[in-house]
Structure 1
């Protein structure tokens, strides 16, 4: 069963999912720390390039099935126009300013 985005425990992660689902690229980028990093299935990727390709230009959407670690770990049904829908895991590191400094995703 999908969790309501508004009920996600971590404010930065909640804003991340909201920005993805609303296709708010500028708002999304403002959530990331200036030197933010990310990994996809264990491989480091450029977060700007990856999110443009996997989320914004391909109409990505996140339906959250479960959260743990205070809202910083999610199990998500992520879908986009390139890959269709897949069950994925996401984990987030949030810095002292409340911005996402690192996120990782991969098949769940």
Structure 2
């Protein structure tokens, strides 16, 4: 069962999913804390390169199936034009100011 983006509990994560699905790079970048980092399948990646390749130049889309950890952990179907669709997990670290300082993703 899919969770509508507007019903996701954590405001930063909700805005992250909305920005990905709207292909809104400006809104996405505004959600990130200065110096934000990320990892894919356990490996730290260059954030700018990764979001360009995996989200914005390949029409990335998140369909959330489940959330936990107060909305800061997701199980979702993720698809893009490069890899097709896969089941993924996402976890987010959100700073006190409500911006994402780190996110981690990977296949389930």
- TMscore range, shorter length: over 0.9
**Match in the other structure for 2:55:** 55
Match of 2:106 in 1: 106
Q: Secondary structure at the match of 2:35?
A: strand
Aligned residues: 108
| 1:76 alignment partner in structure 2 | 76
Deviations 1:18-56 (A, max 9, x none): 000000001100100111000000000111110110000
Give the TM-score, by structure 1 length: 0.99
Residue 4 of structure 1 aligns with which residue?
Answer: 4
Q: Secondary structure at the match of 2:3?
A: coil
Q: Take 1:100 and 1:56, find their aligned partners in 2: how far apart are those partners? A: 18
Structure 1 stretches of 4+ moved >4 Å: none
2-structure distance, mates of 1:60, 1:102? 19
TM-score normalized by structure 2? 0.99
Unaligned runs of 5+ in 1: none
